[in-house]
Amino acid sequence: MNNIFEFAEACLHQSHIKAKLALTEQAWQLSQQETLSFMSVTEPKNIALVTFPEKPILQAPRYMAKRKLGTLEGRQAFYHALAHIECMAIYLAWDMIYRFRGLPDEFYQDWLQVAYEETLHFSLICHHLQGLGIDYGDLPAHQGLWEHAQDTADDLLGRLVIIPRCMEARGLDVTPVMIKKIESINDKAGKAILERILQDEIQHVKFGSKWFLQQCEQQGHCAEDSFKRLLLKYFKNVKPKGPFNHEIRQQAGFTSNELAWLEEAP
């Protein structure tokens, strides 16, 4: 196998996490060797057919364990939730590749880099979880991130706004705060993981900004107006709540006007 869309289909339509990690690394290595094909010869399957692992059990957010870092159980819940976010991020990166065809090779190379880096994050957190006495899947999780992917399955601009430029961008706001909290409990390994994730996520959101701007220009849309319109469309006229980290978001491609609009009262 040397076609990126075949890799994407394999990763999205089988449930074994270890196989998914291995396939992602294989695709990344082929891309680095410039032997990966970006030719689309088949149509993507319906997003409803994407397959997830048997564990963790998926429940509503109100059933999630408390993430208080002062207790072992709270730290387990915190890192388990983080592992689940990174696992979903692997799916989201591969689905960005798989679902949207006819784009420049660079688009697929960028999102393959995202998929690969998300597998590294996931593996680091899982190793840290094992040091806390549990494995990924031992606690329940929720499916909110994937629901956004389902909502935007036929809308590339919507996907770029809602996933990298909204949900992932939220990590740019909250991760620096989390790093300080982790530092306060002397969790040096956890702090290093979060610092690595933050640096990579800046680039991931930047990819979202880059391709959103490129697609808006190609389609003749005003990018700032489209950002506002699509965010309100998919969030049912409710803007995300702050606080927003202006400095890091600007590094990731947000404009001053976009940030000012996000800060405005509804």
Q: What is the pLDDT of residues 59-74, one digit of tens each?
A: 776 666 667 788 999 9
Q: Which is it for the CA torsion 117, 118, 122, 123, positive or negative?
A: negative
Q: pLDDT at position 23, please? A: 97
Q: Do residues 265 and 242 lie in contact, with contact meaning Cβ atoms separated by under 8 Å?
A: no
Residues in contact with 234: Cβ distance below 8 Å, sequence separation at least 6, in sequence order: 148, 151, 152, 158, 161, 162
Cβ density class 132-152: b for 16+ within 10 Å, e for less: bebebbebbbbbebbebbebb
Q: pLDDT at position 43, please? A: 94
Q: pLDDT at position 58, please? A: 79
Report all structural domains of the chain as residue ranges with CATH numbers, in order of start. Answer: 57-263 (1.20.1260.10)
Residue 25 pLDDT exceeds 70: yes
For residue 52, count CB atoms less than 10 angstroms from its CB and return exposed for 0-12, middle for 13-18, buried for 19 or more.
middle
Residue 133 pLDDT exceeds 90: yes
Q: How many CB atoms lie within 10 A of CB 219?
A: 10
**Mean pLDDT of all residues in 184-200:** 96
Mean pLDDT, rounded, of the chain: 94
Task: Give residue-wise pLDDT tens across range 93-124.
Answer: 999 999 999 999 999 999 999 999 999 999 99
Residue 80 pLDDT exceeds 80: yes
Q: Which residue has better confidence, 59 or 141? A: 141
CA 150 to centroid of chain Cα atoms? 14
What percent of the chain is modeled with pLDDT above 90?
86
Residue 231 pLDDT exceeds 80: yes
**Mean pLDDT of all residues in 170-197:** 96
Range with lowest mean pLDDT among 59-63, 164-168, 235-239 = 59-63
Q: pLDDT at position 66, please? A: 67
Q: pLDDT at position 70, please? A: 82
Q: pLDDT at position 176, please? A: 97
Q: How many CB atoms lie within 10 A of CB 84?
A: 23
Q: pLDDT at position 110, please? A: 98
Q: Do residues 20 and 123 lie in contact, with contact meaning Cβ atoms separated by under 8 Å?
A: no
Q: Which residue has the tokens 């075949």?
A: 6
Q: pLDDT at position 64, please? A: 63
